[in-house]
Amino acid sequence: MDTQITKKKAETLRDFAAEQRKLSLPCLKPNRKVLAALEDLGRVRLSKHYFMRDFLYSEVAVAHGIANVPDNAKLAIRAGRGLCENLLEPLRSVFGHVTIRSAFRSANVNGFAAKHGRMGCASNKANFAHHIWDHPDVEGRIGATACIVIPWFIDWLERHEEHHDWRALAWFIHDHLPYSKMVFFATNAAVNLTWRCGEPQREIRRSRAPKGGKKILYKEGQPRRDPAPEQDYPGFPDPNDPGTWVRNPPLFSSCVPARPRREADFRRS
pLDDT in tens, 11-61: 998 998 888 777 766 677 888 999 999 999 999 999 999 999 999 999 999
- Non-local (6+) Cβ contacts of 128 within 8 A are 135, 136, 137, 138
Residue 51, in any domain of the structure? yes
What pLDDT, on the 0 to 100 scale, is given for residue 19? 83
Backbone angles phi, psi at 263, to 5 degrees: -60, -35
What pLDDT, on the 0 to 100 scale, is given for residue 182? 97
What pLDDT, on the 0 to 100 scale, is given for residue 201? 86
- Non-local (6+) Cβ contacts of 264 within 8 A are none
| The length of the chain, given as a count of residues | 269
What pLDDT, on the 0 to 100 scale, is given for residue 257? 46
Residue 148, in any domain of the structure? yes
What pLDDT, on the 0 to 100 scale, is given for residue 248? 64
The Cβ-side half-sphere exposure at 175, using a 13 Å CA radius, reads 18
Q: How many domains does the structure of the chain reveal? A: 1
Q: Is 192 exposed, middle or buried (0-12, 13-18, 19+ CB in 10 A)?
A: buried
Residue 269, in any domain of the structure? no
- Non-local (6+) Cβ contacts of 115 within 8 A are none
DSSP 238: P
- Domain of 192 in residue numbering reads as 42-235
Nearest one of 192, 168, 166 to 179, comparing CA atoms: 192
Residue 22, in any domain of the structure? no
Rg (CA), the chain: 22
With left for phi above 0 and alpha for psi between -120 and 50, is residue 252 left, alpha or beta? left
Q: Which residues of the chain have pLDDT under 70?
A: 1-3, 24-26, 210-212, 248-269
Contact 146, 103 (CB under 8 A): yes
Q: pTM of the full predicted structure?
A: 0.86
Residue 203, in any domain of the structure? yes
Residue 247, in any domain of the structure? no
Residue 19, in any domain of the structure? no
Residue 153, in any domain of the structure? yes
